[in-house]
Structure formats: C-alpha cells, structure tokens
Amino acid sequence: MKIIMKKQRSAGAEMDPIRHSLAHLLAAAVLEKYPKAKLGIGPTIENGFYYDFLFPRPVTTEDLAGLEKRMRELARQDLPFRGKKVTPAEARKAFKDQPFKLDLIKEFVKEKKGLSIYRTGDVFQDLCRGGHVKSTREINPDAFKLTHLAGAYWRGDEKNPQLTRVYGLAFATKDELQKHLHMLEEAKRRDHRKLGADLDI
C-alpha cells in the first residue's frame, strides 16, 4: 500500500499571512497619525513583523501604544485585502508621494519583475507581492503587540536616509503571545544576572 505523506507547513509559515497583514495595518495606523510619513518596507520575520518609516518628527516607544490601539480597531472592522497587478505608470502614480516606493518600483521595472498593489479596505494601499489574509477578521486583535523601535538605513546603506523600524510580535492566540513575552522577560533577567556576576555586582 502506497502511503502519501503530506508536507507539513510550520506554524511560522501559517502565521506569515497574518503577520504580513499586520505590517500593513501598522503602516495604515502610522499614515493616519503622521500623514507626511514616508513608507519603507514591511516584511514578516520570526515571530512577528516590522515596517520601516521616515517619520516627520521623532517617535518614541511611548507612541507605540496609540498605534497598536488603532491597529486593533482596524482589525475588528473586517477589512478585506485585495490585490491587483499594475503597470509601472500606475504604480508610480499611486505612490507619487512615497520616494522609497518609487525607488522600489524603479528597481522592479529594471529587473522585469511584476508590480502589484494590495489594498486594505479603503484605508491603505501598498506596493506588495501578496501573502495576506482575505480579511482582517482572520487576525486575532489580542494576539499581537508592537514591541520596540530601531534605526535602519534604507536598503542597509549608511549613505541613504536612516528610517525608524517599528517591530511587532504576532501569534495565533493571546496565550501564545503572553508566553512568548514571558520567555523574553526571563531571558532578559538571565542576561542581567549573568552580567552582574561577570562584573561582580
């Protein structure tokens, strides 16, 4: 008897559409609060996502709570994600005020890569290849958290503008999120204890 083994997707792979969609919700929340912000990129990473922005003014970790709250509100609105292929001219028109997106469009055209735009309801659009949930109702609004900020040069080149990278965690359930946050806190405590011992504090 022939047994067919199905390839199992990892939990991280299953979470990618949710995490990618949350990156778009983060960008939507940022543009609502900072209409003059410039968008970089917003990929998924292990256990979460990030998005790079050039903000019109400095932001701090205290600003994350308001952005996170708005993301939860958007998630609860059952917003659909819809994508469509566009021409280079259509893409440039859609992102005429976003210099980093125009830079990406130029690169994609040069490399003969297709262009597509994904809309999140009527609140946001992004230059994106896809990999989203069908609707924000698939996102658990209690299972993600914006965690911290970091500096990141556009395209990793210090000759380019330095953007602010906003990091977030995202899981399928609130319990998984809390367990991960607890694990991070425990790891931080262990590091502090080790550092104290090394310094004889």
Cα–Cα distances (Å) from 72 to 22, 27, 29, 81, in that order, read 10, 13, 10, 16
Give yes or no for residue 8 having a pLDDT over 50: no
> For the segment 115-130, what is each residue's pLDDT rounded down to a tens digit?
999 999 999 999 999 9
Question: Average of pLDDT values for 88-111?
Answer: 97
pLDDT tens for residues 127-142?
999 999 999 999 999 9
- Residue 10 confidence (pLDDT) above 60: no
Residue 60 CB neighbours (<10 A): 8
Report the relative pairing of strands 124-127 and 115-120 from DSSP bridges: antiparallel
**In angstroms, rounded to a whole number, what is the distance separating the alpha carbons of residues 180 and 47?**
9
Residue whose pair of structure tokens reads 């997106």 in the numeric block: 101
Place of tokens 């990406």: 104
What is the residue whose two structure tokens read 């983060």? 26
Cβ-Cβ contacts under 8 Å for 91 (sequence gap 6 or more): 101, 105, 115, 117, 127
The one-letter code for the residue type at 67 is L
Residues 6+ apart with CB under 8 A from 57: 34
Q: Are strands 38-39 and 124-127 parallel, antiparallel or unpaired?
A: unpaired
| Structure tokens given for 140 | 């658990």
Write the Ramachandran bin of 200: left for phi over 0, alpha for psi from -120 to 50, otherwise beta. Answer: left
Q: Are 154 and 41 in contact (CB under 8 A)?
A: no
Beta bridge partners of 39: 53
Which position has the higher pLDDT, 146 or 196? 146
